[in-house]
Amino acid sequence: MVVAVCSTKQRFMTFLTVHYSEVSEVVKYHREVLKNSITIFSMLCVINASNIFERKVYRRILGPVHDNEKENWRILTNKEIYARVKKPTIVETIRLNRLRWFGHVQRIEENRIPKGVLYMNLETTRLRGRPRNR
Phi, psi torsion values for 118, nearest 5 degrees: -65, -40
Model pLDDT for residues 67-85, shown as the tens digit of each residue: 888 888 988 888 988 898 8
Model pLDDT for residues 43-71, shown as the tens digit of each residue: 677 788 888 888 888 888 888 888 888 88
- pLDDT value of residue 21: 57
| CB-side neighbour CA atoms (13 Å) of 90 | 28
- pLDDT value of residue 10: 61
Alpha-carbon distance 120 to 115, whole Å?
8
CA distances to 66, 69, 76, 83 from 73, in Å: 4, 10, 10, 19
> For all residues of the chain together, what is the average pLDDT?
76
Give residue limits of the domains in the chain: 11-118
Alpha-carbon distance 134 to 131, whole Å?
9
